[in-house]
Structure 1
Amino acid sequence: MPTVSAPGLGSGLDIGAIVDSLVGVEAIPLNRLKADEFNLQADLSAYGKLKSALSSFQSALSDLSSLDKFKVFTSTSSNESSFTGTADSDAAGGSYSINVTAVAAVNKLQSGAFTASTDVLDTGTLTIASGSDSFDVVIDGTNNTLAGIRSAINEASDNTGVTATIITADAGSYLVLTSDESGTANAISVTVAGDGDGNDADNAGLSQLVYVSGGTENLTELQAAADSVVAIDGFTITSSSNTVTSAVEGLSLKIEAIGSGTLNLRRDDTAIEASVQEFVDAYNELNNTIDAQRDGQLEAEGTLLTIENLIQNTFNTAANISGGAFSYLSEIGIRTNEEGDLTLDTSDLQTALNADFNGVAQVFANSTEGYVARLDSLVTSILQTDGVLDAREDGINTELETLADQKLVLERRLESIEARLLAQFTALDTLLSSLNNTSAFLSTQLANLPTIGSKK
């Protein structure tokens, strides 16, 4: 009779493969859970991209978020070597006649020549003033060289605005004092008390550094303190600085040199157009992100559709502004194309700016009805804690936690099933091995029996 062949195993079967196949059938529900988990993780990632796109869009709204953002002016000087100007949102367009007759300057005083910066003067107390503010510098045996005095002045904690330097020239080393601020109100004076040589006013010892304009002048004035003087449309303005900010509201005039000319201020429509274009581009980036998610990972997500509808409703709702010439963005050149993106017609925008500049600004930046204010408020509500996105992400995370618990139960069940199947097939293999041995023994015995009719 035939013999059961069992190389390595009593049954001749690949028990491992059989058990893996049976466990694989049992694992189908687990694999479905893993697929659901993967999709939910992908949903979280997609909502993360949407949140980032909404945040970027909200940031882009800031350039048009207030009426002041539309008050952008550019200035043109007919004599830039003499003066230039910059304007802020408080300025108004116009042309100004400018005549600069004096330029502000800092005060500079120099000492006499010393052999070197290590030369010793004497001890005492220096009182240094810049205008009405003053500070004291104590000079003793540790800092009474020219270099030591320079450092003591510069390092004084209550220094009110005087910088000391040493200039070494062919004739020797000089201590130079310079006021930090320009203008006659910041002129420098130096007095000495307790000079080591007993005389606080002579041109020896520490009192070599005394300087009181119109009095003891042991220092030499290298540069006199001076105010700037400029006439704007015939009105004279004197300033301690070369930057005049208080003469014309919203205008900062920078004085460079004596001279005259004209300064023109005009509305910078190019800058306004650039801000509007940035608004259009930012929305289109957001819209493209929404389109990609709607056609992709978030195709069946109601939350995405809700957000999209909220944004579209905001764009489609008129800006109800009393006295305004415009109510819709389409009236100032911003329209929606077939793909849902915004486009900007710069010619229409310019026409609207010329017709009613304030009306254009109000459509964007009115604090309650402007498109920017309403869009900003909408995005804030979407992104805030417990907002629509936050709620959906919480829901997804709850689903993931439930799936994790279900996976754990199924994995433990599969482990139990695999162990049971291995035990059963191992027992079967042992039984078949025993049967094979019995079969072999019987075959041998039967082969040794005498056949009928054989002779002994």
Structure 2
Amino acid sequence: MASISSLGVGSNLDLSTLLTQLQTAESQPLVNLQSQQVSFTTKLSAYGTLKNSLTSLQAAATKLSNPALFQGVKGNVSATDVLSVVATGTAVAGDYAIDVTRLAQSQSLVSAGQASAKTAIGTGTVKIEFGTITGGTLDPATGTYNPGAGFTADATRTALPITIDASNNTLEGIRDAINSSKAGVSASIVNDGSATPNRLVLTSTQTGETSSMSISVTGDAALQSLLGNDPTGTQNLRQSVAAQNAKLTVNGIDISSTSNVVKEAIQGTTLNLLKIGTSKLSMQKDTASVLSAIGDFVKAYNSLQNTAKSLTAYDADKKQGAALLGDATLRNLQTRIRQALNTPQSGGPDDMKVLSEIGVSLQKDGTLSMDSDKLSAALNNKLDGVSKLFASGEGSTAGYGKQLSALVDDLTSTHGALQAATDGVNATLKQLDEQYTKMQDHVTATVDRYRAQFTQLDLLVSSMNNTMKYLTQQFDAMSSSD
């Protein structure tokens, strides 16, 4: 059968354009389906934006639902160069006079000088025990304790054996062996510039009187002579810094601490001692954190309202509404949240029951306003009442914080209204995808049929034209012969 290279060539008809027009007409349902897909996809995105705003509101409400927020205490220190303070949840308000008379420090011991840090000394086993030196007096000239000193070991710390052998029996090797043993001692070498300048310095990694060192050595006499140090007997090391506790008074009460980080000297606080001196410490209710949390709640609520407004707006010029214009799910969500905020809390006759009592009020446009002066006054004078307004005790569902958090949970949960609406849109999009696929197959089949029919038409007309041309030639030939 004859064939044609391009549709319409054989018949001299514009079949290609006609086929394109038919394809466009047949594809119109696809355009409509695409438009619906775009609309529902936009709606799905809008629900996601709405959920994000709800999640932010829930986070702010959850923070306010915690009674600990309203029980917080912060410390103000008059001499920040003397100490700093960190308060925990058990801290209570109060004023304190603090006098730091001594800082805790670690003991340091210094060995006799060695001509070289790389010369072998001796081998053996070193054990460093920690404890408290009692009695006796320190000779400042020699840096050793006079007879009569006692040593009480710290039973909570076990002495670790440190092996000194041919691989590490130089001063540098001994230093490295002590440091790698993690025995609670930091070792270093100091050069004092003398004829035998290299001195091994041992410093306890912990401060306090219970971290004084007693060092026993088994092995070569040279190693014993270098490191052996019994505060009650032979002492081959010189004490350059004594182990001591921090000493301070709090409102005239004497306090001793093995560390400069003093915990619970005042209930619920950690004092970080920085230097000797005096300071006033005022522990006050942390109303600033509560004020900030309530402000964040108002911002989150107003952000939700602004999000809802943008998702339901109508553009008169374009005559087009936003994705959730007239959406029942959004309208129901806003109504439930407003009802929750307008419902008074239960409580006694003197308890706060509504947000307006602390300066937080609903406006005509649906947003919340916050009177900072009124809120600050409520926090300073009726903090317990503000706490009950937002948070309740264990097992109770009272308080705007808990109620709003629970409401958002209900709205966004697996079976919640917002999730149900989202699932509905996803189901519709799936159906539209299936319809589009089927319709596309139908359009393709129809256009293919048209193309086949036009091709046959083209061939038929082409054949008829050829026949007509032949007959014309024959008739012309017969006429000319006459």
Instruction: In structure 2, list runs of 5 or more residues that go unmatched.
Output: 1-5, 132-153, 314-321
Q: Secondary structure at the match of 1:348?
A: helix
Change (3 A) 1:112 1:283: farther
Over 3 Å counting, the alpha-carbon distance change for 1:188 and 1:7 in structure 2 is: closer
- Is the Cα–Cα contact under 8 Å of residues 82 and 273 in structure 2 kept in the other structure? yes
> Which residue in the other structure is 1:144 paired with?
169
Aligned-partner Cα distance in 1 for 2:212–2:274: 21
What is the rounded CA distance, in whole Å, between the counterparts of 1:324 and 1:115 in structure 2? Answer: 83
- Give the secondary-structure state (helix, strand or coil) at the position aligned to 2:353: coil
1:431 corresponds in structure 2 to 460
CA deviation digits over 1:4-32, x for unaligned, max 9? xx996233322122112112222222222
Q: Is the 8 A contact 1:108 1:222 kept in 2?
A: yes
**Cα distance 1:152–1:269, how it changes in 2: closer, same or farther (>3 A)?**
same
Residue 240 (structure 2) pairs with residue 225 (structure 1): no
Q: Which amino acid aligns with 1:173?
A: N
Return the offset for 1:447.
5.8
Q: Confirm or deny: 8 A CA contact 1:120 1:144 kept in the other structure.
A: yes
**C-alpha distance in 2 between matches for 1:180 and 1:381:** 54
Partner SS, residue 98 of structure 1: strand
Moved more, 232-241 or 74-83: 74-83
**CA RMSD in angstroms, aligned pairs only:** 2.6
In 2, distance between residues paired with 1:278 and 1:168? 60
Greater CA deviation, 17-26 or 67-76? 67-76
Question: Corresponding residue for 1:275?
Answer: 293
Alignment correspondent of 1:317:
343
1:167 aligned partner, one-letter code: V
> 1 CA distance for matches of 2:46 and 2:130?
63
1:161 aligns with 2:184: yes
1:293-319 per-residue CA deviation (whole Å, 9 max, x = no partner) reads 233212243222232223222212222
Contact 1:130 1:162 in 2 (8 A): no
Partners of 1:169 and 1:298 in 2: how far apart?
81
Q: How many residues align?
A: 439
Which residue of the other structure, out of 353, 371, 376, is the alignment partner of 2:379? 353
The 1:135–1:450 alpha-carbon spacing in structure 2 relative to 1, beyond 3 Å, is closer
Q: In structure 2, what residue type is equivalent to 1:51?
A: K
After TM superposition, give the deviation of residue 358 of structure 1 in Å: 0.7
| Letter of the structure 2 residue corresponding to residue 335 of structure 1 | S
- Is the CA contact 1:67–1:361 (under 8 Å) kept in the aligned structure 2? yes
For residues 161-192 of structure 1, give each alpha carbon's deviation from its aligned partner in whole angstroms, at most 9, with x where no partner exists. 22222233423222222222211012222111
Give yes or no for the alignment of 1:284 onto 2:302.
yes
> 2:209 maps to which residue?
184
After superposition, the Cα gap between the structure-2 partners of 1:70 and 1:7, relative to the gap in structure 1 and judged at 3 Å, is closer
Give the CA deviation at 1:346. 0.7
| Equivalent position of 1:327 in the other structure | 353
Structure 1: distance between partners of 2:353 and 2:183: 56
In the alignment, which residue of structure 2 is the partner of 1:239? Answer: 257
Out of 415, 424, 434, the position equivalent to 1:395 is: 424
Q: Distance in 1 between matches of 2:345 and 2:383?
A: 16
Asked if 1 retains the 8 angstrom alpha-carbon contact of 2:109 and 2:203, the reply is yes
Instruction: State the AA in 1 paired with 2:216.
Output: T
Q: Is residue 433 of structure 2 the alignment partner of residue 404 of structure 1?
A: yes
Secondary structure of 1:400's match? Answer: helix
Q: Which amino acid aligns with 2:162?
A: V
> Match for residue 170 of structure 1?
193
| Contact 1:71 1:88 survives alignment (8 Å) | no
Answer whether contact 1:325 1:356 (CA < 8 A) is retained: no
Which residue of structure 2 aligns with residue 200 of structure 1? none
CA-CA distance at 1:281 after TM superposition: 1.6
Q: Give TM-score scaled by structure 1 length.
A: 0.88
CA distance in 1 between partners of 2:470 and 2:309 (Å): 77
What does residue 379 of structure 1 align with?
A: 408
Calculate percent identity across the aligned residue pairs: 34
CA distance in 1, matches of 2:237, 2:407: 68
Say if 2:107 and 2:203, in contact at 8 Å, map to a contact too.
Answer: yes
CA shift for structure 1 position 407: 1.7
1:111 matched to 2:135? The reply is no
- Listed one character per residue, the Cα deviations across residues 232-283 of structure 1 (whole Å, up to 9, x for unaligned) are 1121111111122222212222222222242222233333322221222222
Decide which moves more: 57-66 or 371-380: 57-66
Deviation at 1:417, TM superposition (A): 0.7
Q: Cα–Cα, structure 1 residues 423 and 187, in superposed 2: closer, same or farther, change >3 Å?
A: same
Q: Which amino acid aligns with 1:388?
A: A
1:413 alignment counterpart: 442
Name the counterpart of 1:264: 282
Contact 1:321 1:369 in 2 (8 A): no
Indicate the residue corresponding to 2:85 in structure 1. Answer: 85
Measured in 2, the distance between the counterparts of 1:430 and 1:211 equals 116
Query: Any idea what SS the aligned residue of 1:218 has?
Result: coil
> Are residues 140 and 311 of structure 1, via their aligned partners in 2, closer, same or farther at CA, if it must alter by over 3 Å?
same
Query: Post-superposition shift, 1:127?
Result: 0.7
**Cα drift, residue 443 of structure 1:** 4.9
Structure 2 letter corresponding to 1:166: I
| Counterpart residue identity of residue 130, structure 2 | S
* AA partner of residue 189 (structure 2): I
For the Cα contact (< 8 Å) 1:92–1:265, is it kept in 2?
Answer: yes
Indicate the residue corresponding to 2:53 in structure 1. 53
